[in-house]
Amino acid sequence: MKIIYIANARIPTEKAHGYQICKMCEEFSSAKSELELWVPTRENPIKKNAFEYYNLKENFKIKYIKSFDFIKYDKLLLRKSVYLQSLWFFLKLAFKKIDKNDIIYTRNPELVWFFNLRKFKTAYECHDWFGRKKKLALWFLKKCDYIITTNNYIKKEFVKHGFEKDILVAPNGVNLEIFNIDIPKEDAIEKLDIGEELKRKISNKKILLYTGSFKTMGVDKGIDEILQSLKGLDSKNIFFVAVGGNEKDIKYYKNFAKDIGAAGICEFIGRRAQTELALWQRAADILLMPFPDKAHYRYFMTPLKIFEYMAAGRPIIASDLQSIREILDEKNAFFCKAGDVEDLREMIDYVLNNEEEVRIKVDQANRDVLKYGWDKRAKRILNFIEI
């Protein structure tokens, strides 16, 4: 028996889901489970293969299913491109031969339905709830053999909608070898390839750091609140850095910072490899996650940066949301009210002035993150799906 992980996604991609999919494939394979990842061909600005791009062991196969790339005609097709691309990929899969003993693993409900029709065992990994497509998605999943969710709230939603079988809650994870590094702040700054000018700007400053994409589907992830919170703090002693944006979002936030008078104490940097993110997090004095109070963020998300921050050995300030509380608590992090700039400002000031409490919480986070290694997650899932 082997796992066929089917993902209707561009691989590799700069977005977090691509790394999560490929990292799980690596860990499933490392746990002695034979695996192939099947994805559609798509036009891709990333020229490295997935193993190089994500710095993974080449211990599983990636099978690219030849597909017409409707996505690049999105403007012409008026957003029908996603449906057309999915349908094309779906039809191509219908003609692929798969051993009946193999298990289909996916994050796409429609693929669960299709392979259940063909009498395959299926496993579905759920990272969010379904919004307007809820009824259709749940219908697709009603005969799924195994459901894995990334937090307890999603599991409760499944149970509430009549899914009585066992559901495994398996939060996302972290590569501890990369992020749990022991390096002083000054050495981390020196190792960063950021140029002498920026190094001078941040030297001897308290660095507030945000890492990850700046927006999701056009929705701000709290960077505007961070920028507004800088007012009232000691501008001579702090500097805010956001790492992980695309060109469009970097331009937007540079203009936003200029408009509110914060341009001189902040810097916006594009997407970086995990090894560089780990250095940035070690260079920081505070790691920020002020997510907005919207349904996805409050209930369903389990962002990778939670675990990366926990491993980084620096204090965390996060929005006080139910989804965040599944991983963080008062013993390992500091909280602020979602959407409240003044509360965020006060918490930043509090953390900067309470070294002993910071040390205790940072140490606890370092201990707590050890249970969230990707390898442990993979083994739990393999035991659940009986491989």
Strand pairing class (103-106; 3-6)? parallel
Distances (CA, A) of 215 to 15, 218, 222, 248: 11, 5, 9, 10
- Name the 3-class secondary structure at 139: helix
What pTM did the predictor assign?
0.93
Q: What pLDDT does residue 232 have? A: 87
Helix (H) or strand (E) holding 319: strand 316-319
The CA distance from 370 to 331, in Å, is 15
Distances (CA, A) of 232 to 207, 237, 260, 289: 16, 12, 12, 20
Instruction: List, in order, residues 6 or more apart from 330 with CB less than 8 Å away.
Output: none
Q: What pLDDT does residue 199 have? A: 94
Instruction: List, in order, residues 6 or more apart from 385 with CB less than 8 Å away.
Output: 103, 105, 121, 123, 145, 146
Range 107-115 average pLDDT: 96
Strands, DSSP E only, in 30-71? 35-40, 61-65
**Percent above pLDDT 70 for the chain:** 100
The CA distance from 277 to 124, in Å, is 30
Q: Per DSSP, what are the bridge partners of residue 269?
A: 243
99 within 8 A of 121, measured Cβ to Cβ: no
The CA distance from 332 to 367, in Å, is 9
Domains of the chain: 3-174+373-384 (3.40.50.2000), 176-371 (3.40.50.2000)
Q: What pLDDT does residue 219 have? A: 78
In tens, the pLDDT along 59-77 reads 999 999 999 888 887 777 7
Strands, DSSP E only, in 7-116? 35-40, 61-65, 103-106
In tens, the pLDDT along 221-276 reads 999 999 999 998 988 899 999 999 999 999 999 999 999 999 999 999 999 999 99
- For residue 182, the one-letter residue type is D
The CA distance from 138 to 121, in Å, is 17
In tens, the pLDDT along 167-223 reads 999 999 999 999 999 999 999 999 999 999 999 999 899 999 999 999 887 778 999
Tokens in use for 44?
A: 């891709």
- Is it the case that residue 78 has pLDDT exceeding 80? no
State the burial class of residue 236 (Cβ atoms within 10 Å of its Cβ: 0-12, 13-18, 19+). exposed
